Structure 1
Amino acid sequence: MFTGLVETTGRIKSIHDHEGISRFVVEGLNPKQFDAKFGDSIAVNGCCLTVTEIFDDGYSFDVSRETLSVTNLGALAPRKRVNLERAMQIGDRLGGHLVSGHVDGKATIESIDKQSDGWEVVISLNHSLSRYVIPKGSICLDGVSLTVNELKDESAHSLIHLMLIPATIEETTFAELPVGWQLNVEVDMISKFMERLSKFQPN
Structure 2
Amino acid sequence: MFTGIIEEVGTLRAVQRGAHSAVLTIGASRVLSDLKIGDSVAVNGVCLTATRLLPDGFTADVMHETLNRSALGPLEPGSPVNLERAMAAGGRFGGHIVSGHIDGTGTIRALRRDDNAVWYTVSAAPALLKYIVEKGSIAIDGISLTVAAVDAASFSVSIIPHTAASTILGTKRPGDTVNLETDLIGKYVEKLLTFRDQPASGGLTLEILRQNGF
Give the TM-score category using the shorter length.
over 0.9
TM-score normalised by the chain length of structure 2: 0.88
Query: Is this contact kept in 2: 1:110–1:122, CA < 8 A?
Result: yes
Partners of 1:32 and 1:161 lie apart in 2 by 33
Q: In the alignment, what sits opposite 1:126?
A: 125
Q: Deviations over 1:125-157 (max 9, x none)?
A: 11111111111110001000000111122xxxx
Contact 1:5–1:95 under 8 Å retained in 2? yes
Q: Which residue does 1:49 correspond to in 2?
A: 48
1:130-187 CA-to-partner distances (Å, cap 9, x unmatched) read 111111110001000000111122xxxx221110100100000012112111110100
For 2:32 and 2:12, locate their aligned partners in 1 and report how far apart those are by CA, in whole Å. Answer: 19
* TM-score of the pair, normalised by structure 1: 0.93
Partner of 1:194: 189
Instruction: Give the number of equivalent residue pairs.
Output: 198
After TM superposition, the structure 1 = structure 2 runs for residues 58-97 of structure 1, keeping only pairs within 5 Å, are 58-97=57-96
Cα distance change, pair 166–32 in 1 and its aligned pair in 2 (3 A): same
In 1, Cα distance between equivalents of 2:32 and 2:180: 30
Match in the other structure for 2:168: 173
SS in 1 for 2:38: coil
Distance (whole Å) between structure 1 residues aligned to residue 130 and residue 19 of structure 2: 37
Deviations 1:75-118 (A, max 9, x none): 10000000000001223221100011000001110001234311
Instruction: Tell me, yes or no, if structure 1 residue 17 matches structure 2 residue 17.
Output: yes
Moved more, 15-24 or 45-54: 15-24
Cα separation, 2, equivalents of 1:85 and 1:145: 11
- Kindly tell me: are residues 179 and 56 of structure 1, through their superposed partners in 2, closer, same or farther at Cα, counting changes over 3 Å? same
Structure 2's unaligned 5+ residue stretches are 203-214
Distance, in Å, in 2 between the alignment partners of 1:31 and 1:145 is 18
In the alignment, what sits opposite 1:163? 158
The Cα of 1:31 is off from its aligned counterpart by 5.7
Distance 2:90 2:130 in 1: 31
- Number of the residue aligned with 2:98: 99
What amino acid maps onto 1:85 in structure 2? Answer: E
Q: 1:107 is paired with a residue of what secondary structure?
A: strand
Give the Cα separation in 2 of the matches to 1:94 and 1:48.
18
- The structure whose residues are more often strand, as a share, is 1
Tell which deviates more after alignment, 134-143 or 111-120: 111-120
Ranges of 4+ aligned residues in structure 1 off by more than 4 Å: none
**5+ residue gaps in structure 1?**
none
> Is the radius of gyration larger for structure 1 or structure 2?
2
| Secondary structure of residue in 1 paired with 2:77 | coil
Alignment of 1:111-122 (within 5 A): 111-122=110-121
Question: How far does residue 18 in structure 1 lie from its aligned partner after superposition?
Answer: 3.5
Q: Closer, same or farther in 2 for the Cα pair 1:32/1:131, shift >3 Å?
A: closer
> In 2, distance between residues paired with 1:159 and 1:51?
34
C-alpha RMSD of the superposition: 1.4
